[in-house]
């Protein structure tokens, strides 16, 4: 039997936008996994039919190589979600480790790490990701690394701030005096206490990572042809925008819907976890 | 005020030094010989050994690492950012030629963001929980979730191709900057709108607003003379950050609209493997961003005197 408190908590999570946008995200995840079974056409197979506007056979039309845009958009969900999740995982892991070490050990370690983080923040937006791409070279995996590294400062700053406030609590002092090792204190007592805000930030960052990642592909730094990645597909339609609006438009709508869903889901999650933030 | 300014300037020095070190290490972290990569990118075909040695010599890449680092920093301080492999001209000259295009676009984009953000934020707060509020919030949500390059293409489709009102590319005349500035500004406008709405709703609940109402002032005067001043403080705080977003957004916008500028230089530099050009441009953008933030921080303490007391 669930207690009143648990029921209230579950009710908070099952409210409005978490459900609606959660369903949209579920559809995207299904597409990401099952596109090969659901897509009506092969996303890479070139057809002699050439470019066609949306019609009954190709509801999103075809590109200049006769490839079905609808199938390519379906396959594209896998790439965008992978970029979002992997790059956020990279940023979250490195950033949290840096933030926790910085706050826990303090002193010169804190100063060095935080000055380095400040320097990373001096590269606005996509620029840090471009610096990483300049070193690693273009490619989908490198884009994930680049976007991940460029989000490190945000996690590091958040983790540092949260650890500093957790360390003020008496129980941490008590474990110290009981002789608990630093590693044990960090892993067993500090990390669980800072995980909620970091999870919220990570959820909200997935949308941003998809935007930056697809932007890099648009610039030719990420996925390479014939990959059905949404940013790259938008770039491929750019030169034909006056004759074939559908080539760029549908992948763009797919990115917009995905990012809106993730942002709204993240906002809902934040409100459910901490109703005072409303 | 002066002490605070001096303190902030001193805080910026180590940051700039680390930024320079990160930019310096770009060429040294490359997988393989940077001279070979650069010449293959610029000239193609097989590269004779003499050409490689010549470039290595010119760029000082055969010197010990610490000496290269020292030279890089001291040259950067004296305004020498090396020579572009592709253009065969000093990077600083190229930067100075392209900088006006980017700064014009960034400032106009920021203006668009502020105007749209304030209009929608104000409407949303004034008509809270009505359809106007919901519409403003939906537009701002679309703004922050939209891929900037896609918005650019949509604007080209509507205003350049369908209505033939504005040019879709180039950088001649004022009309050529309208669509890029709208593209750049719309994304940040969403953020400003959300921030202003929540800040205004908070301010409207303050005691001094109730006092103003009690005095019999009209809603319009309360809003403009009393509420907006304080509600704008968080918006002003993020202007430095937004300017950074404009510089970063210019990377994509300049490519979409085929405009010259610093953003396109970075992208082309990476594609051409012209590392001195990439290093110089990235360093230049980062320095501008750091100094703009420094300026915003210092001027913010002037706007909000409580900062000085701290």
Q: Interior CA angle at B4 toward B99 and A151, to 5°?
A: 55
ipTM of the complex: 0.89
Report the alpha-carbon distance of residue B220 to residue B213 in Å, rounded: 11
In the prediction, which pLDDT does A275 show?
A: 56
B29, B30, B153 member nearest A241 (Cβ):
B153
For B:188-247, CB contacts with A below 8 A are 244-245, 247
Smallest CA–CA distance, residue B263 to chain A, in Å, is: 9
Contacts of B63 (CB under 8 A, 6+ apart): B71
Residue-wise pLDDT for B43-68, tens only, equals 766 778 888 888 888 888 888 889 99
- Among A120, A146, A135, A124, which residue's Cα sits nearest to residue B26? A135
The DSSP letter of residue B48 is P
How many Cβ atoms are within 10 Å of B293's Cβ, its own excluded? 21
How many Cβ atoms are within 10 Å of B249's Cβ, its own excluded? 29
Instruction: Among B190, B270, B291, pick the best mutation site for testing chain A contact (most A Cβ within 10 A).
Output: B270
- Interval A182-208 mean pLDDT: 89
How many Cβ atoms are within 10 Å of A199's Cβ, its own excluded? 15
pLDDT surpasses 50 at B310: no
In the prediction, which pLDDT does A10 show?
A: 66
Q: Which residues of A touch B146 (CB under 8 A)?
A: 256, 259
Q: Interior CA angle at B277 toward B276 and B281, to 5°?
A: 115
Contacts of A18 (CB under 8 A, 6+ apart): A265, A268, A269, A272
Residue-wise pLDDT for B137-196, tens only, equals 999 999 999 999 999 999 999 999 999 999 998 888 889 999 999 999 998 999 999 999
Does B255 contact chain A (CB < 8 Å)? yes
Instruction: Among B179, B244, B248, pick the best mutation site for testing chain A contact (most A Cβ within 10 A).
Output: B248
At which residue do the structure tokens 């380095």 appear?
A116
Q: Which residues of B touch A221 (CB under 8 A)?
A: 267, 270-271
B144, B161, B282 member nearest A242 (Cβ):
B161
- Interval A187-213 mean pLDDT: 91
Report the alpha-carbon distance of residue B8 to residue A239 in Å, rounded: 47
In the prediction, which pLDDT does A273 show?
A: 75
At which residue do the structure tokens 């993020």 appear?
B238
**Is the Cβ–Cβ distance between B148 and B184 less than 8 Å?**
yes
Contacts of B60 (CB under 8 A, 6+ apart): B67, B68, B71
Report the alpha-carbon distance of residue A46 to residue B83 in Å, rounded: 44
Window from A40-44, A215-219, B31-35, B103-107 with minimum mean pLDDT: B31-35
**Is the Cβ–Cβ distance between B19 and B284 less than 8 Å?**
no
Q: Which residues of A touch B30 (CB under 8 A)?
A: 135
**Is the Cβ–Cβ distance between B250 and B262 less than 8 Å?**
yes
| Sign for the pseudo-dihedral over CA of B36, B37, B38, B43 | positive
Residue-wise pLDDT for A105-126, tens only, equals 999 999 999 999 999 999 988 9
Residue-wise pLDDT for B108-131, tens only, equals 999 999 999 999 999 998 888 899
**Is the Cβ–Cβ distance between A95 and A156 less than 8 Å?**
yes
Contacts of A257 (CB under 8 A, 6+ apart): A24
């Amino acid at each position: 039997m669930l207690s009143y408190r648990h029921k209230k908590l579950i009710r908070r999570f099952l409210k409005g936008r978490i459900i609606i946008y959660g369903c949209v995200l579920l559809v995207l995840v299904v597409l990401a996994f099952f596109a090969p079974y659901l897509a009506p056409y092969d996303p890479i197979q070139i057809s002699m039919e050439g470019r066609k506007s949306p019609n009954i056979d190709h509801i999103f039309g075809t590109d200049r190589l006769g490839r079905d845009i609808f199938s390519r958009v379906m396959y594209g969900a896998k790439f965008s979600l992978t970029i979002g999740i992997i790059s956020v995982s990279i940023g979250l892991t490195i950033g949290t480790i840096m933030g926790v070490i910085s706050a826990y050990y303090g002193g010169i370690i804190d100063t060095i790490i935080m000055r380095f983080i400040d320097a990373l923040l001096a590269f606005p937006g996509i620029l840090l990701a471009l610096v990483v791409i300049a070193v690693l070279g273009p490619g989908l995996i490198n884009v994930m690394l680049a976007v991940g590294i460029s989000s490190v400062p945000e996690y590091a700053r958040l983790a540092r701030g949260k650890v500093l406030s957790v360390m003020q609590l008496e129980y941490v002092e008590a474990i110290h005096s009981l002789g608990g090792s630093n590693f044990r204190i960090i892993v067993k007592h500090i990390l669980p206490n800072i995980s909620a805000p970091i999870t919220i930030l990570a959820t909200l960052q997935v949308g941003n990572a998809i935007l930056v990642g697809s932007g890099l592909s648009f610039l030719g730094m990420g996925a390479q042809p014939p990959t059905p990645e949404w940013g790259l597909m938008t770039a491929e339609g750019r030169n034909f925008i006056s004759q074939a609006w559908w080539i760029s438009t549908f992948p763009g709508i797919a990115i917009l819907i995905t990012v809106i869903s993730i942002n709204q889901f993240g906002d809902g999650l934040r409100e459910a976890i901490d109703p005072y933030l409303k | 005020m002066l002490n605070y300014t001096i303190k902030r300037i001193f805080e910026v020095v180590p940051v700039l030094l680390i930024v320079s070190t990160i930019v310096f290490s770009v060429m040294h972290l490359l997988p393989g010989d940077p001279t070979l990569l650069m010449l293959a990118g610029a000239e193609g075909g097989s590269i004779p050994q003499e050409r490689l040695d010549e470039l290595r010599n010119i760029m000082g890449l055969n010197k010990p690492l610490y000496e290269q680092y020292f030279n890089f920093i001291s040259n950067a301080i004296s305004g020498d950012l090396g020579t572009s492999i592709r253009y065969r001209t000093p990077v600083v000259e190229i930067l100075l030629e392209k900088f006006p295009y980017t700064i014009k676009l960034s400032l106009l984009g920021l203006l668009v963001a502020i105007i749209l953000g304030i209009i929608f934020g104000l409407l949303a707060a004034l008509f809270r929980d009505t359809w106007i509020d919901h519409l403003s919030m939906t537009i701002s949500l679309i703004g922050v979730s939209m891929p900037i390059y896609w918005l650019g293409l949509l604007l080209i489709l509507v205003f350049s191709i369908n209505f033939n009102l504005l040019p879709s590319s180039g950088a001649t005349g004022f009309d050529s900057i309208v669509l890029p500035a709208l593209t750049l500004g719309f994304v940040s406008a969403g953020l400003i709108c959300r921030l202003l709405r929540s800040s205004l709703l908070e301010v409207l609940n303050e005691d001094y607003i109730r006092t103003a109402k009690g005095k019999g002032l009209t809603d319009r005067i309360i809003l403009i003379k009393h509420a907006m001043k304080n509600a704008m403080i968080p918006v002003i705080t993020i202007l430095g950050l937004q300017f950074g977003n404009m510089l970063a957004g210019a990377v994509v916008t300049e490519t979409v609209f085929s405009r010259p500028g610093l953003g396109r230089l970075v992208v082309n530099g990476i594609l051409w493997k012209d590392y001195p050009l990439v290093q110089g441009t990235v360093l230049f953008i980062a320095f501008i961003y750091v100094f703009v933030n420094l300026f915003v921080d210092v001027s913010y303490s002037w706007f909000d005197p409580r900062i000085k007391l701290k």
